[in-house]
Amino acid sequence: MTPALEAILRGVVARALEGAPPSHDLAHVERVLRTAERLSEREGADRDVCRASALLHELVSLPKNHPDSARSGDLCAEEAARVLRGAGAAERLVVRVAAAIRDHGFSKGVVPDSLEGKILQDADRLDAIGAIGVARCVATAAEMGSRLYHPGDPLARARALDDKAYALDHFERKLFRIPALLHTSSARALADERVAFMRAFVAQLGREVAFDP
């Protein structure tokens, strides 16, 4: 990817994400980009595809409680292809980036075909765990109008998990599962420390709200 093409893509992304919520803002894109670069080097993937797909993977991101949220990846892939073609990118790059973006979302439940798609999915999922994952989970709860935890049973010992209502439930329902869903050994190595932090966070929160886990 040439510096000129990257500059165009960065400009498009900056404009598209102006005013975006902190859970899916430009800072999130930059973190995913850095992680994707790191994974691509370790796994021997196409760096240009990984970088372009990471830069463009949030061009369309419907809220988690939107009825069509599962279509975000498809819509984003279409928009990414349009942007890349408009910027004069090679068709091979357009096709591979669009494919990686199309399948990267968690809610779609698809395993990407390409290594680059797997790396984008891994990089995006890594940003959902660890300290930044805790911060993003709380931010998303605020965006959705959810509570931080169930006041009577924060750790869901005697109730069904409901992560639409309670942010803490999202840890057990989804986030703690992420390491087992990662594709690359490089990503899994990074995930272990992040999930350990989150488990310590839950334990500390349990003590602070007087429900020792």
Backbone angles phi, psi at 147, to 5 degrees: -90, 160
Instruction: Kindly state whether residues 6 and 91 are assigned to the same domain.
Output: yes
Mean pLDDT of 107-133: 93
Using the 3D structure, point to which of 73, 108, 143 is the last residue of a domain: 108
* 114 within a domain of the structure (yes/no): no
Phi-psi region for residue 81, left (φ > 0), alpha (ψ -120 to 50) or beta? alpha
Instruction: Kindly state whether residues 72 and 147 are assigned to the same domain.
Output: no
Instruction: Kindly state whether residues 98 and 197 are assigned to the same domain.
Output: no
Instruction: Kindly state whether residues 134 and 174 are assigned to the same domain.
Output: yes
* 117 within a domain of the structure (yes/no): no
Q: pLDDT averaged over the chain?
A: 92
Instruction: Kindly state whether residues 27 and 97 are assigned to the same domain.
Output: yes
Burial 172-202 (b: 16+ CB within 10 A, else e): ebbbeebbebbbbebbbebbeebbeebeebb
* 10 within a domain of the structure (yes/no): yes
Amino acid 211: pLDDT? 56
What is the pLDDT confidence band of residue 68, given thresholds at 50, 70 and 90?
low
Q: What is the CATH number of the domain that holds 90?
A: 1.10.3210.10
Instruction: Kindly state whether residues 20 and 72 are assigned to the same domain.
Output: yes
* 76 within a domain of the structure (yes/no): yes
Amino acid at 83: V
CA distance 115 to 121: 10
Q: CA nearest 36: which of 103, 123, 102?
A: 123
Residue 140 pLDDT > 90: yes
* Better-scored residue on pLDDT, 146 or 68: 146
Number of folded domains that form the chain: 2
Mean pLDDT highest for which of 69-78, 102-111, 171-180, 203-212? 171-180
Instruction: Kindly state whether residues 83 and 35 are assigned to the same domain.
Output: yes
CA distance 121 to 172: 20
Amino acid 71: pLDDT? 75
3-state secondary structure the chain: CCHHHHHHHHHHHHHHCCCCCHHHCHHHHHHHHHHHHHHHHHHCCCHHHHHHHHHHCCCCCCCCCCCCHHHHHHHHHHHHHHHHHHCCCCHHHHHHHHHHHHCCCCCCCCCCCCHHHHHHHHHHHHCCCHHHHHHHHHHHHHHHCCECCCCCCCCCCCCCCCCCCEHHHHHHHCHHHHHHHCCCHHHHHHHHHHHHHHHHHHHHHHHHCCCCC
Q: pLDDT digit string (tens) for 49-58?
A: 999 999 999 9
Instruction: Kindly state whether residues 25 and 91 are assigned to the same domain.
Output: yes
Q: Name 48's Cβ contacts closer than 8 Å, sequence gap at least 6.
A: 1, 93
Residue 8 pLDDT > 70: yes
Q: What's the domain range around 6?
A: 1-108
Whether the CA torsion 5, 75, 61, 156 is positive or negative: it is negative
Amino acid 59: pLDDT? 93
Amino acid at 53: S
Mean pLDDT of 11-18: 96
Does pTM top 0.75 for this prediction?
yes
Q: pLDDT digit string (tens) for 161-182?
A: 999 999 999 999 999 999 999 9
What is the pLDDT confidence band of residue 70, given thresholds at 50, 70 and 90?
low
Amino acid 206: pLDDT? 87
Instruction: Kindly state whether residues 137 and 76 are assigned to the same domain.
Output: no
